[in-house]
Structure 1
């Protein structure tokens, strides 16, 4: 089997293939030449280039790769070409088995505009002020790409342009549509599985309301508190599947508000969040996809659901910095036993700019919802995540938030609580522990002297704030004012504060230091002078490519604070760069197609 995808989902499908005795073929871009999915496959085929449009969206190259590698079947995963009917036809026309629904079903449902018409729902043809707020949405694909909430009519044209560009880059299809935006609703979906013999399973519900940028962050099964609405959702989902003679795994998505279910779309593929359904029903959805594609018949009724499962997506991103994606080396990623971890990375792998910033999915299953939430939040808190900034702390706080634990959440959760969920809460003793571990690691002769020594000083950056710590080498070892140092070596520091002993595990990678779950940056003792940027400088918040500059923007133009000036594309998403102040644009260094690193100077606005 060839998996026409990359990263976590390719590794996930390969795992089932290995267990079932099926040999595997990976495809990879140049950026993914040494990626985990490439390394674990039996065979790998290069797709020249790095951009999705050159590689994972080239169906012709993927079919050629499958034939050249001797594959019998193709699994599309999710994203990329997974909902592309032409690609499905090309696979079938090449004599290969397609692990997915018939192309006709994909055509009917993969375009959200056609899917809504099939379910008797019309998109907005003309938007007026009375229709606001509205949601601009890509007709193809998902994952939050090509989606924009518009609250002011004047913003509609610009958001339509941005959504089209993002959808074209992610899915190879720039079609978008506009629909009413229902606020305060829950995102609920039903997993379906259908065979070629007329059986359609509704495999429970999932709640995916916690989202950022319309992309899911935490998902659970079953969706809590639906009561009598569950059977309605099942009926609508089965009806949608039968309407297009569906075969295989798929998901029907709804917005639940005021006790009513509003159809959103049908995803004709495996969902990112499928592991929570697998955990609750005790099944392997990928294995079932393969069996259905081979013509096997499903049982008349699905297996019985047991317990509750919760999944959290770990992203390399900064939630406090407008969710900016992060790059760098993932030094280490581990979770405690008993937690399922689906990932496309191993220790030491680089996190690049070309693809989605999701590092892994952590899944907990327990008899009750409360136990599953507690198990997952505790595991994430104890997880080792060494590398770029991630959303790990946000996930832990979200899972423990009163509104979420009480199942009162909706899709506006992060709009309301993001500031609280991202407030700095670093350990105040982490810098001291880092300094003591560093001192032990660098001392060759025990560090003591006959005469009392002066205090040693080290500086660290923690949660955006500089911290200076002091300690001394004495005959008794390392000491610090107000704290008893029980033990200190290069990896473990034990401090006693107010009669309470605390352990700190310390790991250092060059100037990056991790103390338990707290990340610090070691600052030089004598910092080099650096050139200051002019006030009003716009610096690239992430590495990426300049894809657009605001129409007519030129040096000398008057701009307003918050006005969009240009857009960067990084990790398959567009990121808006706005004027920091109201004034005059005095310099512009960005042009479409320019690749920039973090901190690159893009423009300068002189305040007026």
Structure 2
């Protein structure tokens, strides 16, 4: 039992489908919302009720706080699930939901504030005894940035203090590049996040990106569900994720999990969250950020642990404790997730909106495909290009990758270009097959 009766799904796409399914499995009614572009979409048809919330532009629909709250009131829900993206990490939205007398299915707005500002999150991690990448405090002008850079040394990353999801990050190799890039980095931060504040962080170009899934309840229970490796990235956007992280020493594996739990306890966290780290070649690790929401890549954790993360979110939000003890959960086998986007890698990953005229999904043991697409659906230019996530489980990493290669052979889509062919190429790359790779590996491969 979740303690919830009726949930508004304040999102779209495959995550909206995922949440509707989880609600129905838990015996909870799901209310969908949709824009003009999404009127006939799968999650709209699946839900118990669906409400139109505005025009196709995200600003006029899925980012419209007032419109979403009106929909919640009209549908008489008792909770709102924000999914990921859009307003999922917006503390103002979380507060507005709470102030309306509804349950926000996510962390408290205070935790979102604390971990949403990346510079503040770094200081918080340090206070919790979690190692952080050497970096600066907030830099509001050129002179502050130059002083910080001189102390840290190059290469560096300029990061938006309010950023996330890989956005608002600029690499700089020397003082001249810092001077050239800083104004545009600040402008991008202002445009994307409404805050021009940036900070500097030492670049670790050959590090791995490893993250730890945590769940926390209002009774003081904090659990981890081990780690995922998300090092296959293009422009800091993840393409392939694995669980567990391959070839990670047990000391580092335990250290990452302990650090993630320690941080969650320190900030009084609740619900699902992900603590992200960089792991260098010598297997030291450093905190980089905490994502205060469900992650795109959560299915691979579900596959290797057997824990339904969205069901746990519903359960926690209804006032119940996490459903398992730490000692009762373990990693079984290995899983890989491939993000299939409506993009054309041959044209610089340009989005390819249009009608899907054919869509063949793969099958077989250990194969899962989370998607919102049906034949005849249109991929809209207004939103993220994610079509779905191919998730393959195996008894070990080799079997999981083999199943993923076979699944890609079976997958087929017409009417749009996709990243499936790129994934076919990547899974045949010896460096990836033998693993692990670092965060700049893919860009080096594509540039070569």
Q: TM-score, normalised by structure 1?
A: 0.66
Please, which moves more after superposition, 132-141 or 240-249?
Answer: 132-141
Q: Which residue of 1 aligns with 2:313?
A: 289
Alignment of 1:41-56 (within 5 A): 41-56=47-62
In the alignment, structure 1 residue 418 sits paired with structure 2 residue 446:
yes
Alignment of 1:24-423 (within 5 A): 24-120=30-126, 122-123=135-136, 125=139, 126-127=145-146, 128=149, 131-140=153-162, 142-151=164-173, 153-156=175-178, 159-160=181-182, 163=185, 175-227=197-249, 228-257=251-280, 258-298=282-322, 299-301=324-326, 302-338=328-364, 339-418=367-446
CA contact (8 A) 1:52 1:170 kept: no
CA contact (8 A) 2:225 2:301 kept: yes
* 3-state DSSP of counterpart to 2:293: coil
CA contact (8 A) 2:228 2:243 kept: yes
Question: Which has a greater percent of strand?
Answer: 1
CA contact (8 A) 1:81 1:171 kept: no
CA contact (8 A) 2:246 2:436 kept: no
Alignment of 1:586-605 (within 5 A): none
* 3-state DSSP of counterpart to 1:389: coil
Structure 2, unmatched stretches of 5+, are: 1-6, 127-131, 140-144
Residue-by-residue CA offset, 1:52-105 (whole Å, 9 max, x unaligned): 333222222211211111111101111111111121111111111111111111
Residues in 1 aligned to 2:74 and 2:391: alpha-carbon distance in whole angstroms: 36
Residues in 1 aligned to 2:75 and 2:189: alpha-carbon distance in whole angstroms: 31
Residues in 2 aligned to 1:27 and 1:156: alpha-carbon distance in whole angstroms: 43
* 3-state DSSP of counterpart to 2:15: helix
- Which structure is larger by alpha-carbon Rg, 1 or 2? 1
* Cα 1:189–1:55 shift into 2, 3 Å: same
CA contact (8 A) 1:80 1:171 kept: no
CA contact (8 A) 1:403 1:409 kept: yes
Residues in 1 aligned to 2:165 and 2:440: alpha-carbon distance in whole angstroms: 17
Structure 1, unmatched stretches of 5+, are: 421-608
CA contact (8 A) 1:148 1:159 kept: yes
Larger RCO of the pair (alpha carbons < 8 Å, separation 6+): 2
The CA deviation at 1:146 is: 2.4
* Cα 1:318–1:157 shift into 2, 3 Å: farther
Residues in 1 aligned to 2:296 and 2:225: alpha-carbon distance in whole angstroms: 15
Residues in 1 aligned to 2:185 and 2:348: alpha-carbon distance in whole angstroms: 18
Residues in 2 aligned to 1:348 and 1:166: alpha-carbon distance in whole angstroms: 36
* Cα 1:141–1:70 shift into 2, 3 Å: farther
Residues in 2 aligned to 1:175 and 1:29: alpha-carbon distance in whole angstroms: 33
Alignment of 1:363-512 (within 5 A): 363-418=391-446
Question: Which has a greater percent of helix?
Answer: 2
CA contact (8 A) 1:381 1:393 kept: no
Residues in 2 aligned to 1:225 and 1:92: alpha-carbon distance in whole angstroms: 43
The CA deviation at 1:214 is: 0.5
For this pair of structures, how many residues does the alignment match?
420
The CA deviation at 1:41 is: 2.1
Residues in 2 aligned to 1:77 and 1:163: alpha-carbon distance in whole angstroms: 28
Please, which moves more after superposition, 163-172 or 260-269?
Answer: 163-172
* Cα 1:152–1:360 shift into 2, 3 Å: farther
Q: Which residue of 1 aligns with 2:21?
A: 15
CA contact (8 A) 1:146 1:162 kept: no
Residues in 2 aligned to 1:277 and 1:171: alpha-carbon distance in whole angstroms: 29
Q: TM-score, normalised by structure 2?
A: 0.88
CA contact (8 A) 1:53 1:169 kept: no
The CA deviation at 1:194 is: 1.0
The CA deviation at 1:305 is: 1.8
Residues in 2 aligned to 1:13 and 1:175: alpha-carbon distance in whole angstroms: 34
CA contact (8 A) 1:210 1:217 kept: yes
* Cα 1:68–1:164 shift into 2, 3 Å: farther
* Cα 1:39–1:168 shift into 2, 3 Å: farther
Please, which moves more after superposition, 33-42 or 211-220?
Answer: 33-42
Residues in 2 aligned to 1:19 and 1:80: alpha-carbon distance in whole angstroms: 25
